[in-house]
Amino acid sequence: MSPLRVVPAITPTIAATTRRSGPPAISALAGTAAEVMPRHWTFLRSPAADGLTNMAIDAALLDLAGETACAVWRCYGWTMPTISFGRNERTHGRFSPERLRDAGLHAVRRPTGGRALLHAREVTYSVAMPLDERLSWRVAYAAVNDVLLRALQSLGVPAQLVAEHETEPVAPNGPVCFDQPAVGEITVHGRKLVGSAVWRQGGAYLQHGSILLADDQALLADAADVPLPPAPPAASLEACAPAQAHWIVVVNALAAALATVVPPNPAGTIEPFVPPLDFPARVASHHAVLGNDDWLWRR
């Protein structure tokens, strides 16, 4: 299925989440977390790839989640510094192919919403899973962020979820991603550490985002056609937990955190992802759409 055939865009907003010093939880949405988390998961550690390939794989996993109820937690990296734009974000008058090329950056438009961010030294995660159409996507968003928070806190990172009273609504064409945290996102001392974007496609849900090993977001300003508003530094593991600022360390923590929330009764499972035979063709189909300039520079 082409990523163009989906429901209207959504912006992550969840109920306020209470800060706590003990083990993290989904807080106000905890009563429905068991409904949204699948019992059976697969975990995929992907080699670093270019932006188009990474986005095409995530889009193909979203298709699988809707068609086969497969739940995949994927971790990956990037072979070159790449700016990704949100699905409906305006780029005209703000960014251009020429300026990006001069800055030595590649660009891709995500199949999810959100705003521009730079992918470089980070751990990128994606979650593609079935989601009953009767359930709110906000519950899935909170459940995934709970796993992220568990993983980071297990590494000694003083991470917290942003509560509703701690931030203002973020416009789709507002500041770039790491300028301003949204409700439910993960911060350290008020600065965003994890930027996430989401998309719902019928009975399936995709969430992916960046866990910063180091803060390279200032490079966005060098690639913009117009001056961007000055942004506070983002949080990064290099700054707040330097001993843990390694891709494999964070990925192992994510796998361990996922295992703590898989419903135990009946016994849940987490297995390596084994792609179906038609998976390369699915990825190639999305690659062709996402790699078209009519998609990348459509707004």
Residue 18 has a pLDDT of 29
Q: Which amino acid is at 174?
A: G
Whether 177 is a known active-site residue: answer yes
The H helix count followed by the E strand count for the chain is 9, 11
Strand (E) or helix (H) holding 122: strand 122-130
Report the candidate in 273, 139, 299 with the shortest Cα–Cα distance to residue 207.
Answer: 139
E strand or H helix that includes residue 123: strand 122-130
| Residue among 70, 75, 177, 240 flagged as catalytic | 177
Q: What pTM did the predictor assign? A: 0.83
Domains of the chain: which residue ranges?
Answer: 27-296
Instruction: Please check whether the domain covering 27-296 is classified as CATH 3.30.930.10.
Output: yes
pLDDT at 17: 29
Task: Tokens 């949100």: give the residue.
Answer: 86
Distance CA 277, CA 281 (A): 9
Half-sphere exposure of 136 (CA within 13 A, CB side): 14
Does the pLDDT value for residue 166 go beyond 90?
no
User: What are the pLDDT digits (tens) for 204-259?
Assistant: 999 999 999 998 888 888 888 887 766 677 889 999 999 999 999 999 999 999 99
Q: How confident is the model at residue 264 (pLDDT cuts 50, 70, 90)?
A: low
pLDDT score of 6: 31
pLDDT score for 75: 98
Tell me the C-alpha distance between 247 and 270, whole Å: 20
**Rounded distance, CA 267 to CA 192, Å?**
35
> Any idea which residue has 């083990």 for tokens?
23
Could you report the per-residue pLDDT of 47-57, keeping only the tens digit for each?
999 999 999 99
Find which of 4-8, 16-20, 289-293 is predicted with most confidence, using mean pLDDT: 289-293
pLDDT at position 231: 65
- The enclosing H or E element of 271 equals strand 269-272
- For 255, residues 6+ apart whose C-beta sits below 8 A from its C-beta are 43, 73, 270
For residue 173, name the pLDDT band (cuts at 50, 70, 90).
Answer: low
HEC sequence for 125-137: EEEEEECCCCCCH
Distance of alpha carbon 118 from alpha carbon 149, whole angstroms = 22
- Distance, CA of 299 to CA of 139 (rounded, Å): 30
Please state, rounded to an integer, the average pLDDT across all residues of the chain. 82
The residue assigned the tokens 């699988």 is 64
Task: Look up residue 225 and give its two tokens.
Answer: 């056609």
CB of 122 within 8 A of CB of 226? no
Characterize the bridge pairing of strands 159-161 and 186-188.
antiparallel
Question: Using CA atoms, how far apart are residues 217 and 32, in angstroms rounded to an integer?
Answer: 35
Positive or negative, the CA dihedral 76, 254, 209, 37 is: positive
pLDDT tens sequence across 94-106:
888 998 998 899 9
How far is residue 287 from each of residues 8, 51, 103, 184, 278, measured CA to CA in Å? 21, 10, 24, 30, 14
Distance CA 224, CA 243 (A): 33
Distance CA 200, CA 9 (A): 8
For the segment 185-214, the average pLDDT, to the nearest whole number, is 93
Q: How far, in Å, CA of 208 to CA of 142, rounded?
A: 13
Cα pseudo-dihedral 76, 207, 188, 121, rounded to 10: 20
**How confident is the model over 22-53, as pLDDT tens digits?**
333 334 344 356 678 888 999 999 999 999 99
